[in-house]
Amino acid sequence: MKTMTCRQLGGPCDLEHRGDTADEVIKAQDQHLKDAEQAGDATHLTARKEMKGRWLHPKKSMGWYREMKQSFADLPEG
């Protein structure tokens, strides 16, 4: 299991997301941003907008996705 923070994934805080795969961590980040937006947390609004906008540009989103997968792969287990 590995850990990435909201900040490492492009967000504004240090909340830790844990998972066995990069996809698990990315999904946890997506949910965290949705929850923060629904709670009225303005500090996460920019990251949430970037996340939603990212998928409107598939090539750009795949670059981000590959970068996050590589960052996850480079992390030590634990």
Mean pLDDT score of the chain: 92
* CA separation for the pair 11, 8 (Å, rounded): 7
Summarize pLDDT for 14-27 with one digit per residue, the tens.
999 999 999 999 99
Give the global pTM: 0.87
What SS3 state is found at 31? helix
Token output for 77: 């287990």
